[in-house]
Amino acid sequence: MVVLKWLDENIEKSIILVSYVLMTAIIFVEVIRRFAFGQQAAWSSTIPIYLFLWVTWIGCAYNCKRRSHLRFEEFRMRLPYSGQFFCLVVDHLVWIGFSILVIYYSMQQVQIAYDNFAIVQGTDDVMQWWFYTATPIGFALVIYRVLRNLADDIRRYRNNEPMMVNIGVGAD
């Protein structure tokens, strides 16, 4: 249970950190190699781009978790309490619907890359689909985070508590 709690609190941050550190390390080492030794690995300009997929889509889920994703707070806060709740529910449903579409179509892309044995440019055996899975995984995490937020919003609404607007920086 402790492991699941830790994963729930840290999975996005951990994936983002590892991906970002790998991107930075690859770019740093290869810039040094290029300018100091006149050499560069053929894959050093493609792997960081693929790692950025992980940073981007897992970051999307992280921002949903923190409630710092794109929203229309100024409009919503001027509504009566029930209107605020209704708009939050609509937000959640739109996020879930959009995420389902993204998962569906990105899984097709993953499948195409898998079926065609697509290899990352400059490598002999690093498969593109490994990186493309970032999109469906990221949006599955978005759905999970949105459902958690929805459950929290329903609880708050039933208890007549203020709506969660934005957790903000440094809150987790």
At residue 165 the predicted structure's pLDDT band, cuts being 50, 70 and 90, is low
Location of structure tokens 């400059």? 122
3-state secondary structure of 127: strand
**pLDDT at residue 69 in the model:** 75
Answer whether residue 169 shows pLDDT above 50.
no
Answer whether residue 167 shows pLDDT above 80.
no
Per-residue pLDDT reduced to its tens digit, 114-154: 999 999 999 999 999 999 999 999 999 999 999 999 999 99
- 166 and 67 in contact (C-beta within 8 Å)? yes
Of the candidate ranges 48-52, 92-96, 166-170, the one whose mean pLDDT is the lowest: 166-170
pLDDT > 70: percent of the chain: 93
- 20 and 10 in contact (C-beta within 8 Å)? no
